[in-house]
Amino acid sequence: MEEGVRWVKTHCARMDHGGCALLVGVKGNEIVRVKGDPEGFLSRGYICPKGVASPDRLTHPDRLRYPLKRKGDRGEGKWERISWDEALETVAGGLLKIREEHGPRAVAFGVGMPKGLEHFVLIRLANLFGSPNVIASQDVCHAPREITGLHTCGFYPVADFHHKSALAVLWGSNITSTNEEGEICKLLLDQVKDGMELIVIDPRRIDLAKKAKFWLPIRPGTDPALALGFLNVIIGEGLYDKAFVEQWTEGFADLAEHVKKYTPAAVSAITRVEAGLIREAARAYAAAKPAVIQWGNPLEHTVHTFDATRALICLMAVTGNLDVPGGNMEAHDPRIMGLGPFVRADLIPDKRKDMISAHHRVIPRLMTIAPAYFRKAVLEGVPYPVKGFYGMCSNPMLSYADSRLTYEAFRKLDFVAVAEVFMTPTAAMADVVLPAATTFEINDIGHYGIGHGYILARPKIVEPPEECWPDMKIMNELGRRVSDPSLWHDDFEQFLEDVVKPAGMTYAQFVEKGYLKGPDRFGSWKEKGFRTPTGKVELKLSVAEKFRLSAMPDWLGLPEAEDADYPLVLTSAKSGNYLHSSYRWLEKLRKREPRPLMEIHPETAVLNGVADGDLVIIETKYGQVEQTARLTDNLMQGVVCAAHGWWFPEGDPASQYDWRSANFNMLTSVGKLGKEYGTPNLKSLPCRIRRKA
Ligand SMILES: Nc1nc2c(c(=O)[nH]1)N[C@H]1C(S)=C(S)[C@@H](COP(=O)(O)OP(=O)(O)OC[C@H]3O[C@@H](n4cnc5c(=O)[nH]c(N)nc54)[C@H](O)[C@@H]3O)O[C@H]1N2
Ligand SMILES: Nc1nc2c(c(=O)[nH]1)N[C@H]1C(S)=C(S)[C@@H](COP(=O)(O)OP(=O)(O)OC[C@H]3O[C@@H](n4cnc5c(=O)[nH]c(N)nc54)[C@H](O)[C@@H]3O)O[C@H]1N2
Ligand code: SF4
Ligand SMILES: [Mo]
């Protein structure tokens, strides 16, 4: 069967953060098989079902294959085919008209989860166009952990799985399913096999909970309280790293005093985790040397994300696990082009003052706009009106909290252009849709600009359909029409050369090598101190008053108040079969998970009159959706864990493919936001359920 097959090495992408090294079997211009590459630097042969299904994206009959222009009403699902010339002229014309009438900041540029190098070309496009407004889901993705890190210890403390740890805490991170942080879980699994201990903090008994020394089923939304409870035990029992704390932390005495009230008993009442278990888990984390915390999205999915991420970094610091091998480290990039020069940040020096979120006084160093503030600008003109949107690699109709608002915002915008590989509920709201070439069809660089200390080669393997263009090419051509043409390349692939040039190589030589990794350089703080105003890890923030932040992490109460009418707690977990809202249209994946499933404990189900397989209405104060009940005692009682990202490609184009009926973000709201990052509550929402009659 594999006769005549040519095997090419690359890295997986756009099915999650990407990172598995792949061997791709090609016959002519067709990919016939994909398998894990045993030589993979992160993955050592690992591959998941999404990786296996990945080439099916290219050949799907419904894939977008030529540029489209809206006919009829916005969102009506009527299109006409146009040429690339007309598409580029129309998009450039639409954006330039808005710039002339309202200024450059009235155009927003939207991205989603960083998928490849095009993410940074889009930021460059915004900068060259003159708009300070790049909209991204960073408020609920990784910005809190990254930027809280910068303020607390001067860097983003990434979990280091490349060196041996005695223990790992999976804090709301379902890493065998989501392969979080671009760290493929294979390295962690190998360490578990070698005897590394695990603590799992999750309302669900995830796969790795079965291998864990402690599983702490936590009431969703109460993680900051649990972290303060850990600090209470570790400091109270003298289990902290005294030498490190004395020499390298600021505000320890204050923190020690502050956490006294967070006794295991007090924290147990908030988190529903047994007090004894809190004490034992905290002791185990403190005793293990080194120990690593792998953090997950739940820490970033409530309005209290600043306190949650602050508390976790304080834990890493007092136990002496910051920037040590096998702990939470500062990753160093290889010698490649820096982000600032790549995106031409210098061209827009007033960005910090002019961007939409400056008005909302978000935390310094957060350079993208939270979706909640973007929609406020579109719908209310606060702090100024936004009229145009160019988006790619993102599906805001599903991924932003409160989808109703997103729909209204897209209805109201004067001009919308979207680059996509498939018609989605968001692309359906565009005036012009641009067909993108994607992974396997484009030369790309993975993990650039996201702080993990390496970049991965993702070379082109097959030719895309004739009229599908790489996003980088689309933006290179569009950029020439809407900004100084001399700042764009004759050949868009020069962007790839630019990134690797400082390493003294061409893109082709980089592909040959496969990846570039920065140096392991632990403990540079011993000579230089930490890059904070005090030169120490700031358990108590020295800039708190200046930036209106709280000086010490605290428990500020439930993210949403309890409500007798909504007695259950709603949370979510990402599916191992999909990426957010993506790829419900791939048959191989849809077969594995045909419909949205809502997990619930059998006893909670009985109390609510629900049986396995029932279609259930899930309701919050903000909206309702329907998903199918799946009973499992792997979830704590009183909690509903619903699926996120569902729409139906088989649905009606005239109503944007049924983006409402099962979409988790119909249940969320932006009425309450964490002020530091503009983060809404995606987890920990009061809800109720009933069987659909
Ligand atoms: N309720 C709730 N909301 C959430 C989350 C949650 O857990 N719960 N998670 C949040 C998080 S962490 C994130 S990062 C965001 C993610 O939000 P998004 O990034 O908006 O979500 P995706 O589904 O990844 O959307 C990606 C889109 O990009 C398209 N695409 C794929 N490859 C290419 C390409 O090469 N070029 C182009 N132009 N398009 C491509 C896909 O077809 C898809 O429609 O969602 C956030 N929203
Ligand atoms: N298959 C797949 N992989 C992905 C993605 C995807 O959509 N699909 N998305 C990618 C992206 S952009 C990101 S940011 C990452 C995120 O990946 P993760 O950080 O793993 O995110 P989630 O799946 O949202 O949540 C992880 C776990 O938190 C648990 N949980 C729910 N509520 C709470 C709570 O309040 N507290 C605690 N402690 N735990 C809770 C859930 O049960 C789940 O097991 O994954 C990336 N990888
Ligand atoms: S785990 Fe992620 S990177 Fe690896 S094969 Fe699956 S989708 Fe691709
Ligand atoms: Mo994310």
Domain boundary among the residues 36, 57, 78 is at 57
- Per residue in 545-565, is it b (16+ CB within 10 Å) or e — as a string? eeeebebbbbbeebbbeeeee
Same domain (yes/no): 191, 240: yes
Residue 625, beta-bridge partner list = 618
**Does residue 179 line the site of ligand 3, with CB under 6 A?**
yes
Residue 170's φ and ψ, nearest 5 degrees, are: -95, 95
8 A C-beta contact, residue 362 and residue 677: yes
Same domain (yes/no): 581, 663: yes
Q: CA-to-CA distance for 218 and 202, rounded, in angstroms? A: 6
**Does residue 51 line the site of ligand 3, with CB under 6 A?**
yes
Model pLDDT, residue 182: 66
Same domain (yes/no): 179, 283: yes
pLDDT in tens, 390-411: 999 999 999 999 999 999 999 9
Calculate ∠ Cα 496-146-211, nearest 5°.
Answer: 100
Tokens 């909206």 correspond to: 623
pLDDT in tens, 146-185: 999 999 999 999 999 999 999 999 999 999 999 877 678 9
Q: CA-to-CA distance for 232 and 246, rounded, in angstroms? A: 18
**Does residue 19 line the site of ligand 3, with CB under 6 A?**
yes
| 537 domain-assigned | yes
In angstroms, what is the span from residue 431 Cα to ligand 2's centroid?
A: 33
Same domain (yes/no): 319, 379: no
Give the total number of structural domains in the chain: 4
8 A C-beta contact, residue 41 and residue 515: yes
**Does residue 668 line the site of ligand 1, with CB under 6 A?**
yes
In angstroms, what is the span from residue 297 Cα to ligand 4's centroid?
A: 7
Q: CA-to-CA distance for 165 and 38, rounded, in angstroms? A: 23
In angstroms, what is the span from residue 14 Cα to ligand 3's centroid?
A: 9
Residue 257's φ and ψ, nearest 5 degrees, are: -65, -45
Same domain (yes/no): 254, 376: no
Same domain (yes/no): 124, 80: yes
Tokens 């799985």 correspond to: 161
The confidence band for 274, taking pLDDT boundaries of 50, 70 and 90, is very high
Which residue among 395, 598, 667 is best mutated to probe the pocket of ligand 1, counting the most ligand atoms within 8 A of its Cβ?
395
Ligand 2 atom nearest residue 141's Cα: 14
Same domain (yes/no): 83, 15: no
What is the overall mean pLDDT for the chain?
A: 97
Ligand 2 atom nearest residue 221's Cα: 35
In angstroms, what is the span from residue 372 Cα to ligand 2's centroid?
A: 21
Report the CATH number at residue 51. 2.20.25.90
Model pLDDT, residue 546: 96
The confidence band for 1, taking pLDDT boundaries of 50, 70 and 90, is low
Six token digits for residue 124: 């460059």
Same domain (yes/no): 314, 403: no
- Per residue in 504-536, is it b (16+ CB within 10 Å) or e — as a string? ebebeebbeebbbbeeeebeebeeeebebeeeb
**Closest Cα to residue 280, out of 294, 295, 264?**
264
Q: CA-to-CA distance for 51 and 44, rounded, in angstroms? A: 14
Report the CATH number at residue 677. 2.40.40.20
Same domain (yes/no): 173, 317: yes
Same domain (yes/no): 166, 211: yes
pLDDT at 552 over 90: yes
Task: Give the pLDDT mean for 66-71.
Answer: 98
Which residue among 140, 297, 583, 636 is best mutated to probe the pocket of ligand 2, counting the most ligand atoms within 8 A of its Cβ?
297
- For residue 573, give its domain range: 568-691
CA distances from 601 to 206, 489, 629, 693 (A): 14, 56, 10, 21
Q: Rounded to an integer, what is the distance from CA 63 to the centroid of its chain?
A: 25
Ligand 2 atom nearest residue 201's Cα: 38
- DSSP per-residue string spanning 424-449: -TTGGG-SEEEEEE-TTSS-EEESTT
In angstroms, what is the span from residue 574 Cα to ligand 1's centroid?
A: 12
CA distances from 135 to 138, 203, 331, 341 (A): 9, 31, 26, 20
In angstroms, what is the span from residue 354 Cα to ligand 2's centroid?
A: 33
Same domain (yes/no): 430, 293: no
**Does residue 172 line the site of ligand 2, with CB under 6 A?**
yes
8 A C-beta contact, residue 172 and residue 298: yes
**Does residue 297 line the site of ligand 1, with CB under 6 A?**
yes
pLDDT at 505 over 70: yes
CA distances from 408 to 397, 405, 429 (A): 10, 5, 10
Same domain (yes/no): 181, 228: yes
pTM of the model: 0.98
Identify whether 653 is preceded by a cis peptide bond (ω within 30 of 0).
no
Report the CATH number at residue 298. 3.40.228.10
Six token digits for residue 205: 């008994």
